[in-house]
Chain A
Amino acid sequence: MALMLVKFDLKKRVKLAQTVWFMYWFAVMAGVLVFSMGLFFKIELRKRSELMDNNESHFLPNLLIVMGLITCGINAFGGKVCYDSLDPSKFVKWKPMLKSFLVVCVVLNGLLLVTTLLCFLMKIPLQFTLAEGLRNGMKYYKDTDTPGRCYMKRTLDLMQMEFRCCGNDQYRDWFEIQWVSNRYLDFSAKEVKDRISSNVDGQYLMDGVPFSCCNPSSPRPCIQLQMTNNSAYYSYDHYTEELNVWRRGCREALLSYYGGLMNTIGALVLLITMLEVSVTVGLQYVNSSLSTLVNPEDPESESEGWILEKTVKETFSDIMANMKAMGKGGKVDEGGDAPAES
């Protein structure tokens, strides 16, 4: 008993082939979409790789790019086969390889499903990479004269302005590191000497933040130095001041940005997987309907189409038997005709 048997006459076969051909064109464009999404994600990761210590994993965007290219190629080929299926003479040359092609399609669909899962799961390693990278980034903020790190200040400033965030978890992170380079500190001044002797590592720590933490929506000109000193500014209370600097941490901001991006990509790849499954099923119907013509000479005769020739259980046990037979290699076996069935 075949799985999901459908009867076909010539008109229905033609309609099926046309529909599946049309869907294959959508699937080719879907493949292009997957490729471009992988490329976009890769570029976004590269843009901020400095903030992730150049440590970020490019596995997911690379996988998306490769899957996109493979999907494009396979769908273009499938579309051509569908187009030729309307003409019996042309279809004959595709017939022998169609079964293996369908197996390849099924494997591809499985890989696409795995890619979808990865899109949702890869947020977790990304979170750790971001936390580590941002912490180091802030440490190197002042090193604008060290080759290899001289652009960290600009990168961090631009990132804080763009993502409207300050520090790793919050703005006080800047109080714990020295972000003013020693080149610009007057070591003969009393204030500098006091601050340096106030901590074990001899760092110039201050209760101030860089200008990129400032919030333009604040009604008051930005207060970025001596932030915890209420008497330094008129009518200022640092406990109640909310709009002065950005309150969100950059790790949270970047994570929500990349998380949103990966969720969108995952959802789109899921939709594309479903499209791929449906075109594979369609091609299987085309294949089976053209192989079971009642009268092989007459193209207008009736035929049947199915997804699987036997039930799921029987097909599965057939496959297992096949694999066992292949495993036994050239050994001559009494039940030698069993592997010949397909």
Chain B
Amino acid sequence: MLLKMNFTQQRRVRLAQGLWLLSWLAVMCGAFIFCLGVYLKTELIRRDEVMDNTEIHVVPNILMMVGLASIGTNWLASRVCQDSLDASRFPRWKVLLLAWFVVAALLCYMLIAVVVLSYALQGSLEESLKVGLRNGIRFYKDTDVPGRCFQKETIDRLQMEFRCCGNNNFKDWFEVQWVSNRYLDFTSKDVKDRIRSNVDGRYLLDGVPFSCCNPSSPRPCMRYHLTDNSAHYRYEYQAEELNLHSRGCRQALIDYYMGLLNSTGPGVISVILIQMSVLLSLRYLQTAVEGAMALEDPEGDSEGYLLEKGVKETIEDVKATVLNLLKFGQVDPSDAEESPVAADVDKAASPTPAS
């Protein structure tokens, strides 16, 4: 027996009561995990337009599923607790309990997977943002193209809210035509010069949109002729730091999302611990109560354990059961050999004999 413990009637009652409270706490934790998933999902959807793929959405999706499943599972555990001290009502839960343990273990595993994924998917998020922002900057000027007409507003609000400029830095705006052709006077010399200065015939300028301006700058924002020191009084392009936001939007968004995921980390880990303790306590309660029901004096002492046999033997038994199930329809000449295995398998599946 693995981790055997002795239970008097009073200890069984206390265990059942404590576990009832713990399972309600676990229900609330499940609700918390669900709300966390919903919050993360809405935050990701809000910035949908600057993201290229939705791989990162797997994290909040798993959180929401696990949250809902854990609410149901732990509510079931509390019902089992309520019935556990009543010898007439407990036996009907027997069949369900094995499935319950499997589901609870699966939930813990998925929560651990979420924590791992939220770090592993950082690279994918970065790629997605890089492509999304690049497209956003390219389509900034297309305010008359249906489907892209809100890119300008999206990028402007993003840059103002996150205090960033461009993809990596503000120079990204120098490489893209962000002024629509509708507002360019093609007869003027300046426009014709600029268009001729590059292969694609784009109107490129060393200027940025107004949303790149940094409100903390002591000087009114300079956003045109940025590389020309003589265009502004007492202006030095290399030394000017506060004029525009220095951070790139990709870095700003990644910092924001990683911050969100990191701050939810401790919460998820504590939920994992609570779920594990519910699982272990319910196993002890199940074995202790079943042991007590098998005794002549139901109020006497019984033993509770995690596994009836050692870990190795249990694994062997489980393997045998699975193989047996696979061989199901096959008629086997050595029937006699099968029956002791079948009896063993029965014992492993429901560790204490049903009365």
Partners in one complex: yes
In the assembled complex, the CB of A213 is this many whole angstroms from the nearest CB of chain B, namely: 9
Residue A239 CB within 8 A of the other chain: no
User: Which of A10-18, A116-124, A177-185 lines the interface with chain B?
Assistant: A177-185
Residues of B within 8 A of A335 (CB): none
Residue from B156, B182, B185 having most chain A Cβ neighbours under 10 A: B156
Q: How far is the CA of A219 from the CA of B140 in the complex (A)?
A: 9
Residue A318 CB within 8 A of the other chain: no
Residue A292 CB within 8 A of the other chain: no
Q: How far is the CA of A235 from the CA of B215 in the complex (A)?
A: 29
Residues of A within 8 A of B293 (CB): none
Indicate if the CB atoms of A220 and B218 lie closer than 8 Å.
no
Residue B36 CB within 8 A of the other chain: no
B215's partner among A154, A217, A224 (CB-CB below 8 A) is A154
Q: How far is the CA of A211 from the CA of B183 in the complex (A)?
A: 19
Q: Which residue of B lies closest to A208 (CB)?
A: B220
Residues of A within 8 A of B217 (CB): 153
Indicate if the CB atoms of A219 and B210 lie closer than 8 Å.
no
Q: A154-B215, A216-B211, A221-B178 are in contact. Are A235 and B221 (CB under 8 A)?
A: no
Residues of B within 8 A of A154 (CB): 215-216
Residues of A within 8 A of B152 (CB): 216, 218-219
Residue B241 CB within 8 A of the other chain: no
Indicate if the CB atoms of B234 and A153 lie closer than 8 Å.
no
Q: How far is the CA of A277 from the CA of B178 in the complex (A)?
A: 63
A216's partner among B157, B215, B232 (CB-CB below 8 A) is B157
Indicate if the CB atoms of A234 and B221 lie closer than 8 Å.
no
Indicate if the CB atoms of A210 and B153 lie closer than 8 Å.
no
Q: How far is the CA of A217 from the CA of B219 in the complex (A)?
A: 25
Indicate if the CB atoms of B179 and A221 lie closer than 8 Å.
yes
Indicate if the CB atoms of B218 and A211 lie closer than 8 Å.
no
Interface string of B204-226 (1 = CB under 8 A from A): 00000111010111111101000
Indicate if the CB atoms of A183 and B234 lie closer than 8 Å.
yes
Q: How far is the CA of A210 from the CA of B209 in the complex (A)?
A: 13
Residue A186 CB within 8 A of the other chain: yes
Residue A64 CB within 8 A of the other chain: no
Residue A145 CB within 8 A of the other chain: yes
From 148 to 174 in chain B, residues with beta carbon under 8 angstroms from any chain A beta carbon are 149, 152-153, 156-157, 160
Residue A315 CB within 8 A of the other chain: no
Q: How far is the CA of A233 from the CA of B180 in the complex (A)?
A: 13
Q: How far is the CA of A92 from the CA of B244 in the complex (A)?
A: 73
Indicate if the CB atoms of B144 and A219 lie closer than 8 Å.
yes
Residue A169 CB within 8 A of the other chain: no
A interface list, Cβ under 8 A from B: 144-145, 150, 153-154, 157-158, 161, 179-181, 183-186, 189, 210-212, 214, 216-222, 224, 233-235
